Structure 1
Amino acid sequence: MSKKVTRKLTTILAADAAGFSRAMDADEEGTYAALHAARDVFGKLITRHGGRIANTAGDGLIADFPSTVEAAQCAIEVQNELGSQESELKFRIGVHLGDVIVDGEDLIGEGVNLAARLQSMAEPGGVLISQQVYDQVHSKLTIGFEYLGEKRPRDLPDDIPIYRISMSRSGSAGRVYPEPLSRFFKPTSQKPANSPTPPQPTYPRSVMLAALISGALVLVNLVSGGGIWAHWPILAAASIAAFSMADNVIPRQISALVPARAVVTIAALTLVNIFSWSGYLWVLWPAGALLIVAVTRKILSQPE
């Protein structure tokens, strides 16, 4: 008779030291000491926030928490404390809420795998969280979150929404970036099943207001005469809106190659070139420079 599998829903924190092998090659004893100092920080803060360490293989660790909020707060405090100590090792952290298999003291399963993949995608010193974690913590913690779009973690079949916690030394954070457009466009209440009319989406108030103002500008331009000028303020407003929501409006096939905000900037400059056309396609120069810088930064920011 097969042994019954024990499962539980928990919040998993996965952490790993960035560039550990290279650091060991350069200074084995110093790196070993830094690793143990960092583990002391992890252990202290994980315990303080009600979690436990499930696995400490190599230079990484897996911990789980009954509270998603405590797990996220622990991740922030770990990074802040390691940063304040100017630790020689920088850790990447991923946090996910999911179902796992309990194997003695260890945890295995898709939930652990996803937390580990988020960790591998994080920047050194950074924290990435899944949609499930974001839904639990975004209204409970006074920190900022940056929506990175839907990305496909290595060896996993589907794209998933990913958020980055906006880190600072104090644990506070600044700007909260927009969520996926799919979270803004919510269907209206359903009509009875026998109704032939499908539910219509409701749009964000800011989008409706921008459309109303743009329409008013066009109307004023047409009535006042004296040449066409309304496209300039409309272009400025549209560019600002698109830049702030770039990760949501640029297809991920494109943003995987070129950062979304660089694409929006190039598009805006192209429209300026067209609207002020004088026979010279000058946009090629700033667009080319932006592409080179953006692609270079994207390559350099990839995990090791």
Structure 2
Amino acid sequence: MNPSTPQRRLAAIMFADVCGYSRIMGENEQRAMRILACFDDVFTRQLQQHEGRLIKRLGDGILAEFYSAVAAVQCALSVQRALAEHNAQAPPEDQFQVRIGVHLGDVLVSGGDILGDGVNVASRIEPLAEPGGICISQDVYHQVHNKMEIQAVSLGPQQLKNIQRQIEIYRVLVAAAECQSAATVSAEESQPDNPPVPPSVEPGEPVAARRRKWPWVVAALFGLLLLLALVAALLQQVQSQRAQRAEKEARQLLNQGETERARRLLENTLRGLGPHTPGRGKLAQMLQEIRDEELKQHLRRRFEALVATFHQKNWDAAAQFASPESKMRLGMKNIAGRMALLGVFADVLKIKPGDFRLRDLILREDRQRAVIVPEMRVGNAWNPQQPIHWQYLENEWWVVIE
């Protein structure tokens, strides 16, 4: 196998960068360089300890790869703990925080670099983390939640920039993870000789007086819980009504042919709804159907443009429709030659514009691949032809040439 050909593999991808680094650089370049050197030193040491691989430095950011999702999350926690210790001892001007995002996905390995959808998703997850925090994708959470002691809260499905599908994101509670690691040591080191006195009980207070206070405490707690339940129910009702209005408005826009406005309305509404809001699933399904139809319309236009190059006998232009992987593997001259050979057959069969059209379009579940089955008119009969496989990459459809 050619070593220059990109290889695919599953990897845990980590993105990390310094919060507010551009502002720091604009205020004091020497301070910015000290912070960057400290960040690089901490990250490199933790990366070595957790068997990660540094892919590249991106200004104030770092891209790294791990063969294990558990190792990636452990490294992220170690980096944040090390920086917290640094900030506790450093003067204010040398204190800084970083954001970290981790995703588990398929990557293309080209030389020493990694590319692909998995890397794009990881780069979009990192900005969702708070300063000093960590965000992970649902794929990472499913791998680590029962293998290591962490606490994480779901942020719900998120629409990441330039990512077609929604991805559920989890925020790792870094402080909770630190407390859990320290709790076992603390419990073993000391046990209190005298149990603490409840906050509502004063030392030396008569037992009867203490007993009279407890009903009031219980009643207050019950009232607070009831109030919280009422607020939660009211919020759920408001969000449910919002979902119903959004569904009705989106259907009206679709009937008017305003597909893009309907999609934006659904995206904005879903961002503001909780993960368990009634009607959320229906909105998410409607949004996915709209996106699927947009992808199909985009592919139909690409197919028509490809057919147009054949009628024009512009084989170099036709070769430009080949996927990047096909161009790298076969070469542009080879692909253009294949296109020209198809043109010769079309001339022999006396195929004219209008004799070649799309018969069927199948969009795969991953929304990254599709198949077009064309048909050609020979005489008075339309005959199906060999399927054409397409790949969606960098917001464009490309022909996969075997």
The TM-score normalised by the length of structure 1 is 0.59
Distance 2:67 2:234 in 1: 38
Query: In the aligned structure 2, how far is the partner of 1:169 from the partner of 1:38?
Result: 23
Counterpart in 2 of 1:9? 10
Task: Indicate yes or no: 2:262 matched with 1:256.
Answer: no
Shift of 1:4: 3.0
Give the Cα separation in 1 of the matches to 2:76 and 2:234.
29
Q: 1:88 to 1:169 in 2, by over 3 A?
A: farther
Q: How does 1:139-218 map to 2 (within 5 A)?
A: 139-168=146-175, 171-172=178-179
**Which stretch of structure 1 is more off in the superposition, 35-44 or 164-173?**
164-173
CA deviations 1:226-247 (Å, max 9, x no partner) are xxxxxx999658448769999x
* Partner AA of 1:114 in structure 2: V
Cα pair distance change 1:172/1:130, threshold 3 Å: farther
Contact 1:97 1:130 (8 Å CA) reproduced = yes
Q: Relative contact order (alpha carbons < 8 A, sep ≥ 6): 1 or 2 greater?
A: 1
1:134 paired with 2:141, answer yes
Q: Distance in 1 between matches of 2:177 and 2:274?
A: 29
Cα deviation, residue 17, structure 1: 1.3
Deviations 1:195-251 (A, max 9, x none): xxxxxxxxxxxxxxxxxxxxxxxxxxxxxxxxxxxxx999658448769999x9896
Q: Which has the larger Rg? A: 2
Q: Which amino acid aligns with 1:256?
A: R
Find the residue that maps to 2:175 and give its secondary structure: coil
Query: Structure 1 pair 239/39, CA: closer, same or farther in 2 (3 Å)?
Result: farther
SS in 1 for 2:25: helix
* Whole-angstrom distance in 2 between the partners of 1:243 and 1:142: 34
- How far apart, in 2, do the equivalents of 1:146 and 1:54 lie? 29
Residue type of the alignment partner of 1:119? E
> Is 2:42 the partner of 1:36?
no
Report the Cα offset of residue 159 of structure 1. 1.4
Instruction: Note the C-alpha offset of 1:171.
Output: 2.5
Q: Which residue of 2 aligns with 1:95?
A: 102
Residue pair 2:150, 2:177 contacting (<8 A) in 1 also: no
- Distance in 1 (CA, whole Å) between partners of 2:165 and 2:177 is 35
Aligned to 2:25: 24
CA displacement at 1:138 relative to structure 2: 0.6
Query: CA–CA distance in 2 between the matches of 1:68 and 1:256?
Result: 27
Q: Give the 3-state SS of the residue equivalent to 2:178 in structure 1.
A: coil
Contact 1:17/1:92, CA 8 A, preserved across alignment: yes
Contact kept, 8 Å, 1:94 with 1:116, in 2: the verdict is yes
- Measure the CA separation in 1 of the matches of 2:225 and 2:100: 41
* DSSP-derived class of the 2:162 partner: coil
Counterpart-to-counterpart distance in 1, 2:22 and 2:154: 31
- Compared CA separation, residues 254 and 173, structure 1 to 2 (3 A): farther
Question: How many residues align structurally?
Answer: 203
Is structure 2 residue 147 aligned with structure 1 residue 121? no
TM-score normalised by L of structure 2: 0.45
CA RMSD in angstroms, aligned pairs only: 3.5
Q: Post-superposition shift, 1:92? A: 0.9
How far 1:80 moved relative to its partner? Answer: 1.5
Cα distance, 1:256 vs. partner?
A: 3.5
Q: Percent identity?
A: 37
**Structure 1 unmatched runs, 5+:** 175-231, 264-304
Instruction: Point out the structure with the larger helix share.
Output: 2
Structure 1 counterpart of 2:53: 52
Kindly indicate whether the alpha-carbon contact (under 8 Å) linking 2:13 and 2:103 is maintained by their aligned counterparts in 1: yes
Kept in 2: contact 1:144–1:173 (CA 8 A)? no
Structure 1 pair 137/28, CA: closer, same or farther in 2 (3 Å)?
A: same
